């Protein structure tokens, strides 16, 4: 497996964000986009996830603040698997609109007003509404977690798919067919048990998203900037995917107590990570 080379890392590393990405085969894209990505991959100078995040943060410190980019990104992440080029478009503008919706739902008005003036939010909402009318089926190839890896993401991957290079990356990569199979199996177990409604609902939503992509796609769970924000010893010993799989196996075996214990330990660990969001 090969992938596009990283760009120079002269700027400071930006922590906080993890990512769930889908890489689709080139054949999944219509023309002229297919030709664009083929040429893009041949150039071999794709930016990194940190580059993407820095560009987003740069917009937020401009005057006036740019909450959502005026133009869609023409960048993507690429990988080659068994001779097949896979592409994960950034779609930064679309993700900016979706993130803004989440902010409006999650934060009180005064906090939002201080970060992004009402007039800017209103303009962004109007732009998104017009764009959505022209692109009703559009969806992002990338999902972002802030100061966490959402536990439901670990359902999609297996512990043996973990790739860890200290100081460089911690990620899982799996074929789409495997991710869908694991999700469906986990959902059956969760629906037959009690007390896991939130996790089950989250899986339903992720499953609906995955169904939008080509069956020969690849799913990537990337710790992203968390690799630079969490202790190296903890990252080296991290078995989150394996622990969640063990909890689900206990649930399927009728061991409700064992499942609850495994899930509780995992949830507490990631809750402690999320609480860093509010540390100063």
CA distance 55 to 158: 32
CA angle 21, 28, 92 (to 5 degrees): 40
| Paired tokens of 277 | 């969001």
CA distances from 54 to 49, 57, 228 (A): 9, 5, 15
| Paired tokens of 238 | 């991290």
Contact between 210 and 181 under an 8 Å Cβ cutoff? The reply is no
Q: What is the pTM (predicted TM-score) of this model?
A: 0.84
Amino acid 4: pLDDT: 42
Q: DSSP H helical segments within 5-91, as ranges?
A: 33-43, 49-60
DSSP state of 32: T
Give residue-wise pLDDT tens across range 152-177. 999 999 999 999 999 899 999 999 99
Bigger pLDDT: 115 vs 33: 33
DSSP state of 14: P
Q: Using the predicted structure, report yes or no on whether residue 25 has a pLDDT greater than 90.
A: yes
Bigger pLDDT: 269 vs 64: 269
Amino acid 107: pLDDT: 67
Give residue-wise pLDDT tens across range 76-101. 999 999 999 999 999 888 888 887 77
Q: Sorting pLDDT into bands at 50, 70 and 90, what band is 11?
A: very low
Residues 251-273, mean pLDDT to the nearest whole number = 94
DSSP state of 108: -
Q: How many CB atoms lie within 10 A of CB 68?
A: 23
CA distance 251 to 254: 5
Contact between 149 and 226 under an 8 Å Cβ cutoff? The reply is yes
Amino acid 72: pLDDT: 78
DSSP for 200-241, written as a single string: HHHHHHHHHHHTTS-TT-EEEEE-GGGGGTS-HHHHHH--HH
Alpha-carbon radius of gyration of the chain: 19
Q: Using the predicted structure, report yes or no on whether residue 56 has a pLDDT greater than 80.
A: no
């Amino acid at each position: 497996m090969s992938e596009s080379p990283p760009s120079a890392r002269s700027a400071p590393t930006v922590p906080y964000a993890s990512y769930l990405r889908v890489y689709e085969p080139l054949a999944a894209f219509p023309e002229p986009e297919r030709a664009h990505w083929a040429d893009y991959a041949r150039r071999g100078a794709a930016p990194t996830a940190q580059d993407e995040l820095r560009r987003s943060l740069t917009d937020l410190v401009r005057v006036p603040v740019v909450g959502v980019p005026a133009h869609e990104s023409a960048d993507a992440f690429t990988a080659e698997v068994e001779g097949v080029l896979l592409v994960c478009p950034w779609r930064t503008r679309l993700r900016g609109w979706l993130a803004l919706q989440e902010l409006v739902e999650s934060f009180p008005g005064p906090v939002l007003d201080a970060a992004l003036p009402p007039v800017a939010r209103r303009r962004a909402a109007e732009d998104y509404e017009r764009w959505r009318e022209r692109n009703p089926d559009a969806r992002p190839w990338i999902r972002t977690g802030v100061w966490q890896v959402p536990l439901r993401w670990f359902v999609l991957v297996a512990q043996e798919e973990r790739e860890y290079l200290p100081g460089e990356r911690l990620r899982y990569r799996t074929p789409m067919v495997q991710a869908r199979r694991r999700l469906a199996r986990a959902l059956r177990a969760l629906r037959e048990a009690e007390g896991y409604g939130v996790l089950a609902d989250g899986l339903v939503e992720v499953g609906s998203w995955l169904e939008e992509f080509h069956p020969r796609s690849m799913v990537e769970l990337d710790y992203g900037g968390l690799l630079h924000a969490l202790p190296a010893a903890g990252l080296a010993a991290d078995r989150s995917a394996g622990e969640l799989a063990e909890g689900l196996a206990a649930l399927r075996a009728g061991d409700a107590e064992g499942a609850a214990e495994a899930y509780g330990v995992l949830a507490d660990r990631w809750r402690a990570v999320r609480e860093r969001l509010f540390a100063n």
